Chains A and B, each alone.
Chain A
């Protein structure tokens, strides 16, 4: 039986939701099993906000009214040349009234969660991407929203800490 250490460093980086760019073609492989499959998607996806069970939500449409920024797909399994668009996390937090918090927790639909400290959104232009190459982010593209650290501007963000914080399938912003 091969030893676990043979699971190379690439695996280390591929935490839970995120995987290295080298596996960018993964989506196509899975998709290839059923090319005809069309994605189903709610008309107006919403994200729960505030403390658990507060009942507050914000819609993707609302946050897309904020100034949009473009980020190239980089670290994850995103295909080379993919471009994501979305508002800055800082703007979204201001919109939903969480800009005074020291940290917020982003939770994915699959139960994954990560705590984003204030200094992250104050230091870097974190983008809460809602679109990929112009189209809305579907669930299969890990939508309706995902957090992207600007690795293309700040190579130091290519680190496990920030990879772990790059939450996708965002369903909830909790504080």
Chain B
């Protein structure tokens, strides 16, 4: 194929007819070579020689026998039986000679041999000998015998000549066979090359046809319009100020899976079925275009039913999907769709496609298999997500991420027990602090979460190690993504990181969400068990916001339940108090400590401690701060606590409440 490409390069696009002519020409030559090769094997020659040798074999035997007979007769010419024997031999010699005479070629007719006159003389001699009657005349016997001897020599010489010619013919045949072999092999190779060239030309022809189709605005596979065709149509519509159109962009769900599992012909069949359905459905008054891959764009005049009508039609089709039979397997065609309206959503059809694409993106985000009309918010959201996704990769690489720590305090003892590490991202280009809620979800989707988790663990351990150096016995808590627990190396990584920073496992608390427990994955359980066995503390984050399954909880054996702040604000105070107390009792039963998150006001603190919870965390005590600020905070907090205990009306109102 590379040769072909080079050939095309050399010949340019106009090379087609020339190459075709060359191939035709070469094909004729190859055929002639093959015919020449086959023709140069001539079988007849040796065949004929063999026949002649067979004739001569019998002739030779006959004459030798005759000569021997005459030699014997010469010794006893008087024996009357000799006459009969010679007569019989003469008859047989007659038959033999008669036979040789009948051949159009042979010893009797070939020039260059005296066989024929000798043989006729011998026949005549024998006849005369026999005709003279018994007893045989000794002189005639001797003369006849001499003739027979001469004929034996002559037959021998003649036969040898024939054999030499056969040998020559054999040699010639070998060389002819060799030539034929060369010819036939040569022509076969030539034809092979030619057929490869022809296949190449054929495929090139196909690609040209497909290019022509593309140029003509048609998709080569489905026969629908392609991008170019659609764009031209859109321009015409825009130019003539056509009525409002709905622009749909459809994406076949599971197309890649079908393609991978059942092969490209199956994928093609799916595309063709989808396109013929779309053309049936919308092709009459609108346009259907294959946008690339498994995406189709449809534009139809907006009817009275508006977008809602279109959605209904698509939903009806989704309920009874078009199917395609691929190799015996019936595959239903499922699709996701985004709809935008031109010119209501966008001034041009092209931009309307972008809007529809944003809606499609939102559909895919929410799990496919639905139709969504465009809304202005979709576009900005999508753009932001894309920007964040790209930016996060850069942030991870360029150290734009950093940690802040929020202290967790024991109001009863007046100590800081731990600090929760919270990841922050200050965008290097805009200087904006990106909220974790935005970028963590994106990191999870884009597969960057593992890197993010490693970064957080490393930085948190580094901070904890520094606090330890400063004489603070402070746990550090980190949040791991649920994805992280599916990694078989998570526990080992944690152990290695702790060891690197000289921390004990108890110095680390890993906060997990209830989502982790829901993952039906053996590795998740194994990771948690390994961490727990190692001595790392496990804290259940946002307790009370998910679908807490008591069985899961029991199995997890968390060291700490972090109660969500929603318990502080929902419902009337009495209900709140009894609910919280219930949770505390549950935690007690599980053998877990409890901590209330999000304490922002003195009232909330009072409520929490009143219910019996002394571990708290929230803005009321401290906002998240840099690692370096933690030791200072701890000192201040301890001082305030001591002051409060001794009755000093210092700023430690919080601690005062606890006492």
Contacts and interface: CB of A to CB of B under 8 A. Distances in A.
Interface in A123-170: 138-140, 142, 168-169
B233 interface: no
Nearest to B83: A40
Nearest to B105: A7
Contacts, number: 120
A1 B95 CA distance: 29
Contacts of A17: 99
Contact of A77 (B45, B91, B99, B131): B99
Given A33-B120, A34-B123, A139 B58 contact: no
Interface residues on B, range: 35 or more
Contacts of B103: 10-11, 14, 19, 23
A112 B58 CA distance: 8
A57 to B, nearest CB: 17
Contacts of A18: 99
B104 A30 contact: no
B49 A4 contact: yes
A110 to B, nearest CB: 6
A39 interface: yes
A39 B47 CA distance: 36
A2 to B, nearest CB: 9
Given A16-B55, A40-B88, A29 B48 contact: no
B102 A34 contact: no
Contacts of A110: 58, 61-62, 92, 95-96
Interface in B367-407: none
A1 to B, nearest CB: 7
B127 interface: yes
A6 interface: yes
A53 interface: no
B32 interface: no
Contacts of B590: none
B50 to A, nearest CB: 10
Contacts of B88: 40, 139
A11 B101 contact: no
A114 B595 CA distance: 117
Contacts of A65: none
A109 B61 contact: no
A67 interface: no
B101 A16 contact: no
A158 B339 CA distance: 89
A142 B98 CA distance: 10
A37 B130 contact: yes
Contacts of A3: 45, 169
10 contacts: A4-B165, A11-B103, A26-B102, A37-B127, A38-B131, A40-B91, A77-B99, A110-B62, A140-B98, A169-B95
